[in-house]
Amino acid sequence: MARIASTPARERAQVRSSPYERAAVNTTAAIRKRLKTGAKTVLVDTDGQVLELTDADLVAAGQSWTLRIVGQSQVRIHLQKPLPRTAQLVATDASFVEVTGHVAVHAYTRATVHAFDHCVVYARNRVTVLACDQASVNAQDEAEVFAYDKARVRAKGHSVAVCAGIGELFLEDQASGIVSSGVAVGGPSQGNASPFPTEDVIQ
């Protein structure tokens, strides 16, 4: 009968110390520790409490990791410079995330994201996004976007965008929009955009 080779103790220890961390954390100190020790995925669940993250917490953490914000977390993230593309911020479940500066965030499920300055939001499922200043939003599925100022929105699937100010709206598929007169509308489905109702119609 063939013998099964045993795994050396050193290899077994390496398996147990996998960089994928399953237990959620809720403090900046815990996030820093996880990233510093090489975790590739860090779950964040603040249970409704507000957590603030800055460059000091994330920029020095390395080049390849995912910070996944779950549950009913409330997180504010401000970055002076964008993270490398291999370091990703993800908002899921019913979490609320506010981003300012130069932050890119991927949002799924029913998360809500408020984006300002030069931030970028990739929204899917039934995410709700508020975008202001010069923020950009890429919306798919049934995402709902409210954009103001110079915000730019690219909507596809069955997503809906309400845009005011002097920004841009690009429509594809069955996506639709309601826009003010200052918003530039383009895309193969630009016919799905309609103007804000006049005061006479509202009355």
Give a yes or no: residue 191 inside a domain. yes
Count of domains in the chain?
2
Identify whether residues 139 and 90 lie together within a single domain: no
Q: How far apart are CA 178 and CA 4, in angstroms?
A: 66
Identify whether residues 155 and 82 lie together within a single domain: no
Using CA atoms, how far residue 190 sits from 87, 174, 195, in Å, is 34, 10, 12
Give a yes or no: residue 58 inside a domain. yes
Give a yes or no: residue 9 inside a domain. no
Among the listed residues 41, 108, 109, 111, the one whose alpha carbon sits nearest the alpha carbon of residue 75: 111
Identify whether residues 110 and 141 lie together within a single domain: no
* Domain-terminating residue out of 115, 145, 176: 115
DSSP notation for 126-147:
T-EEEE-TT-EEEE-TT-EEEE
Task: Give pLDDT tens digits along the chain (203 positions).
Answer: 343 344 444 433 333 334 444 689 999 999 999 998 888 999 999 999 999 999 999 987 767 899 999 999 999 999 999 999 899 999 999 999 999 999 999 999 999 999 999 999 999 999 999 999 999 999 999 999 999 999 999 999 999 999 999 999 999 999 999 999 999 999 999 999 999 987 443 33
Identify whether residues 146 and 63 lie together within a single domain: no
Give a yes or no: residue 12 inside a domain. no
Give a yes or no: residue 130 inside a domain. no
Domain range spanning residue 104? 18-115
Identify whether residues 98 and 148 lie together within a single domain: no
Give a yes or no: residue 6 inside a domain. no
Identify whether residues 139 and 70 lie together within a single domain: no
